[in-house]
Chain A
Amino acid sequence: MSAASGFRTAEAESVFRFWPRHNEAIYERLETKHVWLEQAQRNAANGADPLEHEMILNIGPQHPATHGVLRCVVKMDGETIDKSVLDIGYLHRGIEKLAEHKTYQEFMPYTDRMDYLSPYSNNVAWCLAVEKLAGIEAPERAQWLRMILCELARISSHLLWLGVGLMDAGAVSVFLWTFKGREDLYRIFDEVAGARFTVSHSRIGGLAADLTPEAFRLIRRFTDEFGKEIAGWEALLNRNRIWIDRNRNVGTLTREEAVEIGLTGPNLRASGEPYDIRRFEPYLFYGDVAFDVPTREEGDSLARYFVRLEEMKESLRIIRQCLERLPDGPIRADDAKRAYPSKDEVYYSMEGMIHDFLYTDAGIAPPKGAVCYQAIESPKGELGWYLQSDGTGNPWRAKVNAPSFTNLQGLEHMMEGALVADAVILIGSIDPVMGEADK
């Protein structure tokens, strides 16, 4: 097919019908050769051993247990994975390239589409990075609100991880229960931002709009009631024989190994390294609230489960403190050159309208040669943006440090030596989001 369609192939007669060079490189990496079933059957008919080749299994990219479009090519020895190669990029949209063609504010909605399970923390990561680059300080109220919404996003992401992780282990009903919790969160985000999923609510220099009294009521109700749900899941799972057997001693990484292959977020903390950006470099007001960083020593899938469950409880604790300490005040920086003017100003004053127009058209221009890196602790781990400015309204280079990308590199290592049945558990337990890993 490839020759007939006009695309060049690596050799005239490649065994691969599509992307021959790419697939050959993967098999070369696995130190094996690809054999079609027909050829193996011919070998068998000629009296040769039909099992002379290693068993190669392609898990994904279209497999529901791979949480997106992750392709794992594994070489197997019986049921044990001998060698694994992850092939990612099936959701590559060139988001860093897109950023170079957008103004800073224009690019913010694109970040929703990266880690689409916790869009709010992506918005905040981008806005904080741009604020650092341009030297803008968001008002105090905006920062507290950002903390509340980031923690809600963390709970939302961990809920999906729990539901899907359990579904991978065979328990479908928990998925429905966690989505009940996610539905409450969707309602909150709908009330806050007008969108359930892709919120795009944070703005450079603050927020799009203040929260309504109804939103506060929903958040309070959620924080009051959600603790009981977590307790219910703990009662179901913490001593559940099947869940523990599937997870204990699966994908164990020691503390040194986890640091060496650069795991991040809950996966690193489950191996005993208490690295949390909220503590390491307290952004927003994380330095002012009391919370614990849950860690575990075991480093297996079960430890990752416990860490994430504890994190949800800590998030609730943070939200409660934020609600208590939330000050009154503006929610966006009062400087029309650096943040959008309020809608009152835009609709009722000429200057406001001009500022709004110019901000949309050109946006902020950080100084030429400015370089910065700003990271936040997203639900998946350290989510950072490295920005370079050339003095215009578009970033010269925006490089995202995506936690899912970092964690997937660890997955490649973890899968080697594991059972193929555990591969699915492992993918679930490191919690990758391909939108983020593939950029």
Chain B
Amino acid sequence: MPADVEHTSSPQQGAPFRKALDFFFTAADEASPDEQNPLAQPTTRLPEIVRALADRFGEAILGVEEYAGEQTVLVETQRIAEVCRFLKDEQGFRYLADAGGADRFTDEERFEVFYNLVSFEKKKRIRLKIRVDEAALTAPTVTGVYRAANWNEREVYDMLGIRFEGHPDMRRMFMPEDFEYYPQRKEFPQLGIPGSLPLPPRTPEGPLQRDPFPTAHEGPTPKSYEEPPSQIVREA
């Protein structure tokens, strides 16, 4: 008897076969590195470069994470520029494709900054990552190695408040300097903080707008004009 026929008929005689429905939509299963990802690219497989980094910097390479065929090299914060210089000059990673930060919302080493480097010749892409403590809130800049990191580091400063030491132009990227918060941090509310960002008045002589979302915080949006009295005459 074939195995599948036995399987469907045996559990309860006569009762229709029911497949158990399982809904695990917020399952917190940990990411495993050896997964065969359908979108994994050969460009992110770089064992020899990781080995070269470990040989050269030893203790400064704190670890390598892997997911979806991509390796993330965790580097000691103070030596990131040195590691970038090595990758650029000796491994051919001439192009900085992206850099950005994230809030891990942990007690220690709360923030992280990542760098996405590309080597055209080797057809490789590597991601470096550093961790930044909330108390220090500074990281060394890599603008000396990659000029392209300039705006990306400004964006990290704007969004998370991490200052990059030695950066030639440490201004905010998107928000005005008059804004005193760092919006990408997890504790910053999605609707903003009322009064934190002055916006132009709605009429030439009117007051500045204090809140970009007044409906969410303090009732209806103020009108920029005065409504004329109603023309509708109610019939008695």
Using a CB–CB cutoff of 8 Å, the interface residues on chain A facing chain B are 1-2, 5-7, 18-22, 24-26, 29, 88-89, 92, 94, 96-98, 101, 128, 131-133, 135-137, 259-262, 264, 273, 275, 280-281, 283, 337, 351, 358, 362-375, 382, 384, 386, 388-393, 396-397, 399, 401, 405-406, 408-409, 438-439
Chain B positions within 8 Å of A262 at CB level: 95-97, 146-148
Q: How far is the CA of A259 from the CA of B145 in the complex (A)?
A: 12
Chain A positions within 8 Å of B188 at CB level: 97
Contact (Cβ within 8 A) A1 B176:
no
Contact (Cβ within 8 A) B103 A397:
yes
Contact (Cβ within 8 A) A92 B174:
yes
Contact (Cβ within 8 A) A391 B177:
no
Chain A positions within 8 Å of B53 at CB level: none
Q: Is B208 an interface residue, CB under 8 A from the partner?
A: yes
The contact of A370 among B67, B127, B171, by CB within 8 Å, is: B67
Q: How far is the CA of A351 from the CA of B35 in the complex (A)?
A: 29
Q: How far is the CA of A29 from the CA of B120 in the complex (A)?
A: 34
Q: How far is the CA of A438 from the CA of B127 in the complex (A)?
A: 24
Q: Is B27 an interface residue, CB under 8 A from the partner?
A: yes
Q: How far is the CA of A261 from the CA of B183 in the complex (A)?
A: 27
Q: Is B131 an interface residue, CB under 8 A from the partner?
A: no
Contact (Cβ within 8 A) A89 B29:
no
Q: How far is the CA of A439 from the CA of B175 in the complex (A)?
A: 11
Q: Is B110 an interface residue, CB under 8 A from the partner?
A: no
Chain A positions within 8 Å of B150 at CB level: 409
Contact (Cβ within 8 A) B208 A7:
yes
Could you jot down 14 A-B contacts, CB within 8 Å?
A5-B208, A22-B172, A97-B184, A133-B68, A260-B147, A364-B25, A365-B27, A372-B70, A375-B97, A386-B100, A386-B114, A401-B98, A405-B151, A409-B150
Per-position 1/0 for B183-197, Cβ under 8 A of A: 110001010000000
Contact (Cβ within 8 A) B31 A18:
no
Q: What number of residue pairs across chains A and B have CB atoms under 8 A from each other? A: 177
Within 8 A of A (CB), among B105-148: 114, 116, 118, 120, 123, 125, 127, 146-148
Q: Is B30 an interface residue, CB under 8 A from the partner?
A: yes
Chain B's closest residue to A89 (CB) is B174
Q: Is B233 an interface residue, CB under 8 A from the partner?
A: no
Chain B positions within 8 Å of A367 at CB level: 28-32
Q: How far is the CA of A101 from the CA of B200 in the complex (A)?
A: 28
Closest Cβ of chain A: how far from B74's Cβ, in Å? 12
Q: How many residues of B contact A (CB 8 A)?
A: 63
Contact (Cβ within 8 A) A391 B27:
yes
Chain A positions within 8 Å of B190 at CB level: 97-98, 101
Contact (Cβ within 8 A) A89 B173:
yes
Q: Is B102 an interface residue, CB under 8 A from the partner?
A: yes
Q: How far is the CA of A386 from the CA of B113 in the complex (A)?
A: 12
The contact of B30 among A368, A401, A408, by CB within 8 Å, is: A368
Q: How far is the CA of A435 from the CA of B168 in the complex (A)?
A: 26
Contact (Cβ within 8 A) A135 B97:
no
Contact (Cβ within 8 A) B67 A372:
yes
Q: How far is the CA of A382 from the CA of B96 in the complex (A)?
A: 12
Chain B positions within 8 Å of A373 at CB level: 70, 98, 116, 125, 127
Using a CB–CB cutoff of 8 Å, the interface residues on chain B facing chain A are 21, 23-32, 35, 37-41, 43, 65, 67-68, 70, 72, 94-98, 100, 102-103, 114, 116, 118, 120, 123, 125, 127, 146-148, 150-151, 155, 159, 169, 171-178, 183-184, 188, 190, 198, 200, 207-208, 210
Chain B's closest residue to A391 (CB) is B28
Contact (Cβ within 8 A) A5 B28:
no
Knowing A98-B190, A391-B26 are in contact, say whether A439-B198 is a contact too (CB < 8 A).
no
Closest Cβ of chain A: how far from B148's Cβ, in Å? 3
Knowing A261-B147, A384-B97 are in contact, say whether A132-B178 is a contact too (CB < 8 A).
no
Chain B positions within 8 Å of A94 at CB level: 183
5 tightest A-B CB contacts, nearest first: A262-B148, A89-B174, A391-B28, A22-B176, A137-B38
Q: How far is the CA of A92 from the CA of B175 in the complex (A)?
A: 8
Contact (Cβ within 8 A) A96 B184:
yes
Q: How far is the CA of A391 from the CA of B43 in the complex (A)?
A: 26
Chain A positions within 8 Å of B27 at CB level: 365, 391
Chain B positions within 8 Å of A19 at CB level: 176-178, 198
Knowing A133-B68, A262-B146, A409-B148 are in contact, say whether A362-B25 is a contact too (CB < 8 A).
yes
Chain A positions within 8 Å of B96 at CB level: 262
